[in-house]
Amino acid sequence: MTRLPLILCPTQLELDGIRDALAGLGIHAEYARCGLGPGGVARFAATIRGSRAHDSSRGRVVILAGLAGGLDTEHRVGLSRTARFVVAAGADECRPSPRYLAPLRLPDALDVASVDRIAATTKEKRTIHEATGASLVDMESAAFAALATACGWRWGVVRTISDDANTPLPHWVAELVRTDGSTNMIAALRAVLLNPRRLSLLFAIARHTPAMLRATAQEVARLLDRCASKVDEDHRHRTLVMGGSFDPPHRLHARVALAAAAQLGCGRLEFVPAHESPLKTEPSRAGARDRLEMARRAFAALPGATVDAREIERAGPSFTVDTLREISRERHLARRDLVLLIGADQAMQFDQWRNWREIDERLATIAIVARGGESQNELRPALREKFAALGSDGDRWAHAVLDLEPVDLSSTEIRTRLGQGEDAGADLAPAVAEWIRLRGLYQ
């Protein structure tokens, strides 16, 4: 049974207004309050970790919704938009990436900068706009995007401008909300007692906020309607395949696979350790069974993921075309529902793979992640030129590059550090590090 979408709001005021407006539109959803800033999102994350609902929430639609500041002078108070990119722009930049492409967005989406404290003055807003190019600013979106990506949610952000680029936000207004998102009535009373002229601004806020929250709810409704038309049943079975030596598997393998699956709407993840890669010039340092066990320890607990041992059991050189044929036949998957995730180096030598045209044109949708040290804008034209010259669809190859941060960690680097007696535990799942220690691998 499909779960209801979850609408997450930073404050209770936003939650109540958006919930009432969506109920009036006949939309059923679940709601939660996270509180203000990255800290509020972190506390919300702590409440869901380890719960059965969280374990089964992969692919769930989760939308962060509320008010925000405007950064672009062309956008006025009351404008409501979905986020296209979320850009972490504070001192506590969100990891693993400072930039996230929202899987759920509308065609007129705008970029949102996410900071660690309220951008109150027009000068602060101008500085953020110049640094990021974003049109809106809030404090929660980057931390939310990181959490949503890690959880495998189908996520989006909806924000409505409450104070535009030319409107400073008085410091005392920020004190009207506690960090947990509840309204601080004592702060409101104190503000008025210190300066009775502030009462008129409070009345103005009370008068205009309901309309802005209704606009937010209407944008959420548009996004949910677009979501519903995306054939959720197909995406539940859409499978992302990630192969490799996994010698050893590290944290970025899992992180990139989860982010790619969320961006592409894949409900299943298949990690396929190779017995022997035909294109590698050196054999794997760890044996096939050790690499299979490490992959299980690294990936099996990820939501929607399985570790497929077929190439290990097949023995001999591992040809991806054989694996994809089998998976496609076993699960009756069309090409669009079987996604092959590869790195940029693999993509640039893909024409050396066995039956590469069959993989590209008949079996799977190719998805590519840039490697550290190279930009997506450099990789795309290189792929377009290479595969167009081979008579393939160069544009399709260029568009296959995902909007994810380049991967700047390799298994080779980890093996080198381990061989030199250095600690690589921060880059490995604890169970993988323990297996390496027990088996004396890479020493």
Mean pLDDT for the stretch of residues 308-314: 90
Mean pLDDT for the stretch of residues 342-351: 93
Domain range annotation of the chain: 6-228, 232-439
pLDDT tens, 148-164? 988 888 899 999 999 99
Q: Where are the beta strands (DSSP E) in 29-148?
A: 30-33, 61-70, 80-88, 99-101, 110-114, 136-138
Predicted pLDDT of residue 229: 59
Is the pLDDT assigned to residue 186 strictly greater than 60? yes
Interstrand relation of 6-9 and 61-70 (parallel, antiparallel or unpaired): parallel
Query: In the CATH hierarchy, which top-level class contains the domain 6-228?
Result: alpha beta
Mean pLDDT for the stretch of residues 242-251: 90
Would you identify the CATH topology of the domain 232-439? Answer: Rossmann fold (3.40.50)
Inter-axis angle of helices 141-151 and 251-264, nearest 10 = 100
Residue 353 carries which DSSP code?
A: S
- Measured CA to CA, the distance from residue 268 to residue 103 in angstroms comes to 16
Token pair listed for 371: 């490697």
Let me know: does 274 contact 283? Beta carbons within 8 Å. no
**Least confident range of 64-73, 93-102, 165-174, 194-203:** 93-102
Token pair listed for 93: 């930049």
Most confident of 226-240, 281-295, 327-341, 368-382: 327-341
Q: Sign of torsion, CA 263 264 268 272?
A: negative
For residue 196, the surrounding DSSP H or E stretch is none
Is the pLDDT assigned to residue 259 strictly greater than 50? yes
Burial degree of 176 (CB within 10 A; 0-12, 13-18, 19+)? middle
Token pair listed for 293: 């066990």
- Measured CA to CA, the distance from residue 428 to residue 262 in angstroms comes to 22
Residue 280 carries which DSSP code?
A: -
Mean pLDDT for the stretch of residues 98-104: 86
Mean pLDDT for the stretch of residues 106-132: 91
Upper half-sphere CA count for residue 12 (Cβ side, 13 Å): 10
Token pair listed for 160: 């409505």
- Which band of pLDDT confidence, cut at 50, 70 and 90, is reported for residue 283? low
Mean pLDDT for the stretch of residues 229-244: 70
Predicted pLDDT of residue 56: 47
Average pLDDT, the chain: 86
Residue 368, beta-bridge partner list? 342, 401
Nearest in space to 402 (alpha carbons), one of 285, 219, 263: 263
- Measured CA to CA, the distance from residue 85 to residue 403 in angstroms comes to 10
- One fold for 6-228 and 232-439: yes
SS3 at position 116? coil
Let me know: does 43 contact 213? Beta carbons within 8 Å. no
For residue 155, the surrounding DSSP H or E stretch is strand 154-163
Interstrand relation of 365-369 and 338-343 (parallel, antiparallel or unpaired): parallel
Which amino acid makes up residue 397? W
Token pair listed for 279: 């294109």
